[in-house]
């Protein structure tokens, strides 16, 4: 039988051997009481989770209220003398500041009579023209027509 030669490195340094760790037997958990400090840490962690969920629900509720409270654009299809046109109508806040996206005229939309009045000057009622509204499509149609 032959002996295995020792490995040598350059400049005469011998490689170091790693010591192998002895395997320890896993200790069986004993029934001991949890210290008071660990109990408070556990309770603080759960209260932080409930606070973060509560904050998430509050912020989500605020976003939903804002979406419902603010006006949303609609796609209006209107006609006069056989000419049909489509425009994105933004009702404005509480009826003030209503605009048509593609027009410089000031709109006044009456949904009960299905009529749209477009005025060049708000102080002169003679400058208004009446249009019959054919279709009042919702938010997604307005977004689709805009893009």
pLDDT in the model for residue 132: 93
pLDDT in the model for residue 62: 92
pLDDT in the model for residue 102: 86
pLDDT in the model for residue 77: 92
pLDDT in the model for residue 12: 61
Per-residue pLDDT for the chain (147 aa), expressed as one digit of tens each? 567 766 666 666 655 666 666 666 666 665 555 555 554 555 555 556 666 788 888 999 999 888 788 888 889 999 999 899 999 988 887 767 888 888 889 998 888 898 999 999 888 888 899 999 998 888 888 888 867
pLDDT in the model for residue 25: 63
Contact (Cβ atoms closer than 8 angstroms) between residue 109 and residue 98: yes
In whole angstroms, give the CA distance from residue 120 to residue 106. Answer: 6
What torsion do the CA atoms of 65, 71, 72, 77 make, to the nearest 10 degrees? 150
100 bridge partner residues: 89
The b/e string for 76-100 (b: 16+ C-beta within 10 A; e otherwise) is bbbeeeeeeebbbbbbeeeeeeebb
């Amino acid at each position: 039988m032959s002996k295995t030669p020792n490995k040598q490195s350059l400049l005469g340094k011998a490689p170091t051997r790693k010591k192998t760790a002895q395997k320890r037997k896993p200790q069986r958990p004993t029934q001991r009481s949890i210290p008071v400090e660990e109990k408070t840490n556990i309770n603080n962690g759960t209260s932080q989770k409930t606070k973060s969920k509560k904050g998430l629900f509050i912020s989500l509720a605020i976003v939903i209220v804002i979406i419902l409270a603010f006006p949303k654009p609609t796609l209006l299809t209107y006609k006069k003398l056989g000419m049909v046109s489509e425009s994105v109508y933004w009702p404005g806040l509480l009826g003030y500041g209503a605009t048509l996206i593609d027009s410089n005229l000031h709109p006044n939309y009456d949904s009960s009579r299905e009529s749209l009045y477009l005025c060049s000057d708000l102080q002169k009622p003679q400058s208004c023209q009446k249009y019959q509204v054919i279709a009042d499509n919702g938010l997604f149609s307005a977004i689709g027509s805009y893009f």
